[in-house]
Structure 1
Amino acid sequence: PVNGGITLAFEKHMNKILEVDMENMVAVVQPGVINKDLQRHVESLGLFYPPDPASEEYSTLGGNVSENAGGMRAAKYGITKDYVMALRAVRANGDIIRAGKRTIKDVAGYNIAGILTGSEGTLAVITEITLKLIPKPKYVKSYMGIFPSVEDAMRAVFKSLASGANPVAMEFMDSLVVQALKEKLGVELPEDAGALLIGDVDGNVIEEVDFQLQMLQESFEANGAQAFVVAEDQEGRDKLWYARRNASPSITIYGSKKLNEDISVPRSMLPEALKKIYAIGEKYGFKVPCFGHAGDGNIHVNVMVDGSDPEQLEKGHEAIIEIFEMVVEMGGTLSGEHGIGTSKAPFMNIAFTPQEIQLFKDIKAAFDPNHILNPGKMGL
């Protein structure tokens, strides 16, 4: 703990899937259940829990709820908050509360479950989670669009979605990431790719899947795509997704330390946002490889510096501040899914007015007047 105290760890003794209600398509779990374990369990029953953060193999559902975790499938299926129906939690004074119901509709009282979701453990200790499930789609195919430039790729993102395409995921990698994957991991990718868009489409009839792919191909090609590749089988899908899942570790060829932020902007602002991010990197003399969830406007920005050079670290953080200011001016946010924690807490005043920050503090005081739960997180 940053400020002393104790750490509550639920993964050993509160790690059970308590119930899967097939009739109402609901799962009740303890906070220490691993995300992927729930996915596998409900899929064996023909159901589906879509939120899939990159940490799905080891992150817990309690942590996912506390962070309001996203993932690659957010473009179509949304994020954790869209599946939280009810919570049981313990307040700092020991009171046990229940928030929400396992009903589709519930407008009685304040949405306390919504307030607790994404609160980063600052308001209460979550001890039980009721999650919405949906039927598992029968068919999935993967695709890759190859573009000459980032601007072309980002324009294809919002224009294809606005035209009615509904992909499960639409992931983005720029040319710096493509080069890093080739150099560090030997991944076979197009030599002249300025940017790649990789994703999935799904559906319950194969014609629906193929129609979605056709829509994406037409839109991508209308916005400058050089090629459109479809992976029909699991081996092909794994090959496409291997590149995206290894984007983050590959970029260390550009610097020993990455200052990684997960900014999010309205999708239509993606071309302009990335143009300005690269300009800020050039201003400070840093490579800034970018990748992420373009389908929902969430980009992972990586300012690459020499971690042993204090001057570079200082300039890198100055570049991050400029990026934050630019993103907020565009109507975006400091964090699309990673949360604020302590590292982004000093920048909350960029995104929120003093009155808004005071409201956060008032809510914190109402739940936890003695400030014993995750003190200092989010600057509260």
Structure 2
Amino acid sequence: NGDVIRAGKKTIKDVAGFNVAGILIASEGNLAVITEITLKLIAKPRLSRSAMGVFPNIESAMNAVYKTMASGITPVAMEFLDNLSIRAVEERFHKGLPIDAGAILITQVDGDLTEQLDFQLNILSDKFKENGCIDFRIAKNDEETQNLWFARRNVSQSITIYGKKKLNEDITVPRSSLPALLSEIGKLSEKYGFKIPCFGHTGDGNVHVNVMVKDPSDKAVLQRGYECIEEIFKIAISLEGTLSGEHGIGLSKAPFMRLAFSQAEMDLFARIKKAFDPNNILNPGKMGLPL
């Protein structure tokens, strides 16, 4: 209705009133028009180092992620590529990646002291090797660091070697459920006959799943691709995960909201929407909310 509000405070702590800022964040334009944002700046650490672990299979890599994060250190990034992703990048760019590896983990640590970095890298090496890592490489300079991250930055465009259409979803599960998630996706690949390369931000349990459709003009095959995606959503939810970690719901995932939320929860979302937007003029129909 055009009322102006300020959500949140500049104070470090604030428990007065409801967390309106939290409701607005990631609401996908359903609740308000944001005209001004105040951000907290965090000082950039003075030093950083990157490393890569090579694993014989995806399960070992996912277990290494879980055990590493449970050890108490917090890498800046913990990214993974499965075998299909590794092979795609190598076929496109010839970077000398280990194409026989089941998966690779690319990680980065930072800090203000060299000793901090060494401490974290030693734990990473130990936890990786405890979980089957067959090669642990630490980048020695900026060039090697860039080469390590090249694969992750270019994997999305590379996997198009497997199909003209990419059904890409960004499901997220608890880190402890990553091995089960990737195992079940492997079974779906066999069931439906699609290559499903996976990569993503395993440090926070976020996996980019890509069902590759060779010929999207074949409507029957494309429909099977969407059925495969729906099964992936169901698996993620059964593992106490979520439909999206980054990309949001929008229109394409709206039909699946009821897989993840009860009727009572959907009704609550609708009432919140109506409280903010009584005339339903902000992104109507998004996120599975009623028109």
* TM-score using structure 1 length: 0.75
Would you tell me which structure has more strand in proportion to its own residues? 1
Match of 2:31 in 1: 123
Q: How many residues align?
A: 288
Q: Aligned Cα RMSD in Å?
A: 0.8
Aligned-partner Cα distance in 2 for 1:214–1:178 = 25
Structure 2's unaligned 5+ residue stretches are none
Question: Following TM superposition, where does structure 1 have runs of at least 4 consecutive aligned residues deviating by more than 3 angstroms?
Answer: none
Q: CA deviation at 1:191?
A: 3.2
Deviation at 1:232, TM superposition (A): 2.8
Match of 1:31 in 2: none
Counterpart of 1:7 in structure 2 is none
Q: Deviations over 1:199-237 (max 9, x none)?
A: 110001110001100100011011100100111322111
Q: Is 2:90–2:99's contact at 8 Å kept on the other side of the alignment?
A: no
Correspondence for 1:44: none
Correspondence for 2:250:
341
What is the CA–CA distance in structure 1 between the aligned matches of 2:46 and 2:282, rounded to whole Å?
A: 43
Give the partner amino acid of 1:133.
L
Q: Which moved more, 1:182-191 or 1:223-232?
A: 182-191
Name the CA distance, whole Å, in 1 between partners of 2:113 and 2:251.
Answer: 46
Secondary structure (helix, strand or coil) at the match of 2:37 reads: strand
Bigger proportion of residues as helix: 2
Which residue in the other structure is 1:175 paired with? Answer: 83
Give the Å deviation of 1:304.
Answer: 0.5
Structure 2 residue 227 is the aligned partner of structure 1 residue 307: no
Distance apart, 1:337 and its partner CA: 0.9
Mapped to 2, the partners of 1:188 and 1:130 lie a distance apart of 44
Matched, 1:292 2:200: yes
Question: What is the match of residue 57 of structure 1?
Answer: none
Matches within 5 A, 1:44-59: none
Q: Distance in 2 between matches of 1:374 and 1:354?
A: 21
Distance 1:371 1:234 in 2: 51
Deviation at 1:185, TM superposition (A): 2.2
TM-superposition CA deviations, 1:69-88 (whole Å, max 9, x none): xxxxxxxxxxxxxxxxxxxx
Find the aligned partners of 2:54 and 2:38 in 1 and give their Cα distance: 40
Distance 2:162 2:62 in 1: 23
> Following superposition of structure 1 onto structure 2, how do residues 158-169 of structure 1 map, counting pairs within 5 Å?
158-169=66-77
Candidates 276, 280, 291, aligned match of 2:184: 276
Tell me the distance in 2 between the aligned counterparts of 1:164 and 1:114.
Answer: 27
Which of the numbers 285, 288, 291 marks the counterpart of 1:379?
288
> Do structure 1's residue 157 and structure 2's residue 65 form an aligned pair?
yes
Specify which structure has the bigger relative contact order, considering alpha-carbon pairs within 8 angstroms and separated by 6 or more residues: 2
2:237 is aligned to 328
Q: Which runs of 5+ in 1 are unaligned?
A: 1-92
Deviation, 1:137, is 0.5
User: Does the CA-based 8 Å contact 2:254-2:286 persist in structure 1?
Assistant: yes
- On the 8 A contact 2:66/2:175 being kept in 1, the answer is yes
**What is the identity, as a one-letter code, of the residue corresponding to 1:363?**
I
Question: What letter is aligned with 1:375?
Answer: P
TM-score normalised by structure 2 residue count: 0.97
CA distance in 1, matches of 2:129, 2:219: 45
Q: Matches of residues 9-48 of structure 1 in structure 2 within 5 Å?
A: none
- Residue equivalent to 2:262: 353
Taking the aligned partners of 1:286 and 1:204, their CA distance within structure 2 comes to: 46
